[in-house]
Structure 1
């Protein structure tokens, strides 16, 4: 019985490990951010706006774990990597502010705030793309 349990646990870990390791790459996260940004800006439906912001938030959190191609090989604690993560943190903060407005039902103000996402993107693409 003990051997069966160990074998099942080993098999489960063997199967689940590759699934857990499959994180999106930075390019995929940026594509998700862009698609959801378009949805947020075109939306007149509060539920769709919230869904788009949630998608952006999730992609930005995942992107924070990545490394831009321009910084490949840089140590995680390098000034450039810290600057990259700060840019992502700025975007995450903006998204969270827009989500708070959308949750209160102020979709117009949430979309107005979302326009700032583009400036954040442009500033950081100039540095890291």
Structure 2
């Protein structure tokens, strides 16, 4: 009886930790989305830069996660590598936009940020 309870407790914790990791990825994606909306609308350079920094942090954290569609795939398999590559592409775009914003070129930075949507659409089709 006691062993059964221990096994059930271990399975429950394992299941909960798997769910929590998926929630973290979803939270990161929500953070990226919410801040992207701000990037496209704000006229404040400081708000623009802060939102880009929030997006970058969330994208970096999301690279550690696994989308539900790839849960049964090898962690170092081609699908996961492509998933991480998509986030790396987004991070590069964010860095490019942030560099322009730091130079005071808000409109050019916003134009670069508009390309985030194409990156999102490409990788959402594959992994969402």
Which TM class, normalised by the smaller chain length? 0.7 to 0.9
Please state how far the C-alpha of 1:96 moved relative to its aligned partner: 0.3
Name the count of aligned residue pairs.
Answer: 108
Secondary structure at the counterpart of residue 25 of structure 1 = helix
How do 1:23-62 and structure 2 match up within 5 A?
25-62=24-61
Counterparts of 2:106 and 2:63 in 1: how far apart (Å)? 26
Counterparts of 1:78 and 1:25 in 2: how far apart (Å)? 21
Please identify runs of 4+ aligned residues in structure 1 that moved more than 3 A.
none
Aligned to 2:14: none
Q: Structure 2-normalised TM-score?
A: 0.81
Please state how far the C-alpha of 1:109 moved relative to its aligned partner: 0.5
Q: Structure 1-normalised TM-score?
A: 0.81
**Runs of 5+ consecutive residues of structure 1 not aligned to the other structure:** 1-21
Aligned to 2:99: 100
**Runs of 5+ consecutive residues of structure 2 not aligned to the other structure:** 1-19
Secondary structure at the counterpart of residue 76 of structure 1 = coil
String of CA shifts for 1:28-69, please: whole Å, max 9, x gaps.
000000000000000101000001100000000001111000
